[in-house]
Amino acid sequence: MVNFMKQTVKNAENRLQRRAQKTRKRLKKAALDVFSEKSIDAATIEEITAKADVGKGTLYQHFTDKDEIAVTLVQEAVDHLIERVKCYETPPAGLEDMLEHLLAAHHDFWMKAKDEFLLLFQGRLLVKLEPERMVELEQHYLRYLSVIEEEVSRYITGRVDPVHVRHLACAVAGFVFGFFSFAMIGLEPEEMESSMKALRQSFVTSLSYSLVS
């Protein structure tokens, strides 16, 4: 009888945990939708809870405020992007191949996780966050840039200033954001693919030259 009661309590706790996980997941999905549509600054708690079809009290059981949701979503988006960056069908043969791979990984991220891409690269992301949230947020972006640096550094021969490699990582991020931000305005997916390919070749060549020259 005692074991039965313990199992009953455990089952009830498991159900509550699963329900809480589903609610948290629904809140994150709603926030991601609202953030990608309106930007983090413009989004409100009311819009997120309405999208998730829950009350404000339910949201505050999972997150302290809108900034915490944003930081959580950025962390997960960075994790997903890094997974793509570190996933190779075949290892790059050299520096240019690695740079091509990085751009292709970002392109794939854009195509398959557009809302997360917009969240990561929207220009107003860092505006009006509390200082402690800013620190958390910046750590995730620095982690992303560090992964690009690590991947590129494995294909650089000779001594290169680490600052130069950081600039290259920033250039990769800037290139993909700049291209997709404008291309999405008036280009069809097929046009984006062909335009990206031509620009990518020029970009990769110039970056490779800047590192070895």
* Fold that domain 65-212 belongs to in CATH: Tetracycline Repressor; domain 2 (1.10.357)
The set of long-range contacts for 83-88, using a CB threshold of 8 Å and a minimum separation of 24, is 84/108, 84/109, 85/147, 85/148, 85/151, 86/147, 86/151
Asked if the domains 1-63 and 65-212 are classified in one and the same CATH topology, the answer is no
pTM here? 0.83
Alpha-carbon span 151 to 146, nearest angstrom? 9
Interaxial angle between packed helices 66-85 and 131-153, expressed in degrees from 0 to 180 and rounded to the nearest 10: 0
Tokens of 73: 């979503």
Residue 122: which of 37, 17, 46 has the closest Cα? 37
Residue of 78, 67, 65, 68 lying closest to 129 (CA atoms): 67
pLDDT (tens digit, 9 = 90+) per residue, 149-196? 999 888 887 777 888 888 888 888 888 887 777 666 666 666 666 666
CATH 1.10.3190.10 is right for the domain spanning 1-63: no
Place of tokens 């959580």: 72
Considering only CA atoms, which of 204, 176, 66, 54 is closest in space to residue 130?
Answer: 66
**C-alpha angle 115-119-123 in degrees, rounded to nearest 5:** 130
Q: Enumerate the domain spans of the chain.
A: 1-63, 65-212
For 52-91, what is each residue's pLDDT tens digit? 999 999 999 999 999 999 999 999 999 999 999 999 888 8
**Considering the chain, what is the average pLDDT of its residues?**
83
